[in-house]
Amino acid sequence: MTFTFDHLYQFTKEILLRIGCPEKDAALATDVLLSADLRGVDSHGVARLSGYVRLWEKGRINSQPHIHVSYETPSTAVIDGDGGLGLVVAPFAMEVAMEKAIIAGTGWVSVKNSNHYGIAGYHAMMALKHDMIGISLTNASPLVSPTFSKERLLGTNPISVAIPAKNQPPFVLDMATTTAANGKLEMLQRKGENAPLGWIQNENGYPTTDPKGVKAGGALLPLGGDREHGSHKGYGLGAVVDIFSAVLSGANYGPWVPPFVAFLEPDPNPVGVGLGHFFGAMRVDAFRPAEEFKSHMDNWISRFRAAKTTPDHAKVLIPGDPERELEAERKKNGIPLIPAVETDLRDLGKRFGIEL
């Protein structure tokens, strides 16, 4: 079934108000969550709303946090999210990064004591309207095994980089550091289809095509899939995201990152507080005049878009193209929800006396 953006927006915001979020926070968190649904990252949108509520019920999310800078230099800051929704903590942190960039040229913010922050791209894209490059990283619940390991020690630890252009739409990379995002596996499970080799391994560390392999104790694989195809690089990138997000800030890292699902308890001996993010903002004109930079970005984008294609494909894409096209389509025609998510939201609504 398909819902309009406005309908899902009102519903989501109302739920967040009911768990105690201040008006402004509820609006912001809703905006972040729904941007995932609009951009086709369905696993990170309203499908997670009941998960956030369950964490709040368990006392693992603070709906009225005192988010604050706990340390800073001219171009850096550490932010304590006070256990708030990552959906609210992250935009706060990105604003701080951009304020630093106005003065120092760039700003870099590592965040502790936060929670799941939605799609990485939302926060990186905040920089675009200020003619800045935005960078957004986060660690996440451990689901990924390093190369040669059968233990789950890393999250899907995404990297997003948003770069402004002039007449062309912006360049927006937003990628998990795994071969495939967890949401894609869930889609295959629902359809009863197999996964390609290189996406997951089973609980004994052997490659498998069974999409249920991860839930059965297996793991997602780092980008590359296996050593011969460069999985040590995906593992290395995921590790950098983890370290920048959590070892720099004082959050939990690696296997200590608290699970998103409320039915799993966080490690009783944490190495930090909450989970961590990392944000960067670079003023384009801290390097060269913004108009000059953006003209060259237009040229870069045009050249790559015009590249000769392989026989089976009609066009070469620029990072951000698929999400932007879907966003335009869904703003116009609505956001489709799969039955499981629709039911979940209706049940959630009933508990708070709100109709979906």
CA atoms within 13 A on the CB side of 134: 30
Q: Please tell me the distance from the alpha carbon of residue 216 to that of residue 210, in angstroms, as a whole number.
A: 10
Q: Please tell me the distance from the alpha carbon of residue 334 to that of residue 330, in angstroms, as a whole number.
A: 5
Query: In the stretch 237-276, what mask flags binding to a second copy with x, by CB under 8 A?
Result: x-xx-xx---xxxx--xxx---------------xx----
DSSP-derived pairing of the beta strands 132-138 and 275-283: antiparallel
CB of 134 to a second copy, least distance (A): 12
Q: How many residues bind a second copy (CB under 8 A)?
A: 87
| Cα 109 to Cα 20, 40, 101, 178, 256, distances in angstroms | 27, 27, 11, 24, 21
Among 7, 58, 190, 288, binds a second copy (CB under 8 A): 288
Tokens 């025609």 correspond to: 333
Query: Token pair of 200, please?
Result: 């997951």
Is the Cβ of residue 12 or residue 158 nearer to a second copy in the bound state? 158
DSSP-derived pairing of the beta strands 76-80 and 106-114: parallel
Q: Please tell me the distance from the alpha carbon of residue 158 to that of residue 64, in angstroms, as a whole number.
A: 27
Residue numbers 5-64 binding a second copy by CB under 8 A: none
Q: Pick the piece of the chain touching a second copy (CB under 8 A) from 58-66, 119-127, 174-182, 210-218.
A: 174-182
Q: Pick the piece of the chain touching a second copy (CB under 8 A) from 9-17, 42-50, 82-90, 170-178.
A: 170-178
CB of 238 to a second copy, least distance (A): 10
- The SS3 call for residue 167 is coil
Is the Cβ of residue 20 or residue 255 nearer to a second copy in the bound state? 255
**317 makes contact with a second copy (CB under 8 A):** yes
Query: Token pair of 98, please?
Result: 């951009």
CB of 264 to a second copy, least distance (A): 19
CB of 43 to a second copy, least distance (A): 16
**137 makes contact with a second copy (CB under 8 A):** no
Query: Token pair of 61, please?
Result: 């999310």
CB of 190 to a second copy, least distance (A): 19
334 touches 328 (CB < 8 A): no
CB of 63 to a second copy, least distance (A): 27
Residue numbers 85-114 binding a second copy by CB under 8 A: 103-106, 108, 110
Q: Give the residue among 95, 97, 94 at the shortest CA–CA distance from 75.
A: 97
CB of 282 to a second copy, least distance (A): 7
